[in-house]
Amino acid sequence: MGNLTDYYNTTNSVVNSTWDNLTHYKTLKDNLSIPKLEEIMKIAKDKLFMNLEIKDPRIDLTFPYVINLIEKYDFFEQLTISSFHHGYYNKVHEYNINSKKNKKIVFGFLYGRRSDPNNYIYNSTNNTLNIYWSKITKNVCDKAHRNGMAVLAWFYMDEIENKTIYQRLFNNGIDILCTNYPFLAKKFRYFYYKNRRQKGKYFL
pLDDT tens per residue, range 83-103: 999 999 999 999 999 988 788
- 29-65 b/e with 16+ CB inside 10 Å = b? eeeeeeeebeebbeeeeeeeeebbebebeebeebbee
Judged by average pLDDT, the poorest of 101-105, 129-133, 135-139, 178-182 is 101-105
- Amino acid at the residue 128: T
Q: Would you say residue 11 has pLDDT above 60?
A: no
Q: Would you say residue 134 has pLDDT above 70?
A: yes
Cα angle 188-134-7, degrees, rounded to a multiple of 5? 90
The phi-psi region of residue 148 (left if phi > 0; otherwise alpha if psi is between -120 and 50; otherwise beta) is left
Judged by average pLDDT, the poorest of 21-25, 124-128, 130-134, 162-166 is 21-25
Q: Would you say residue 33 has pLDDT above 50?
A: yes
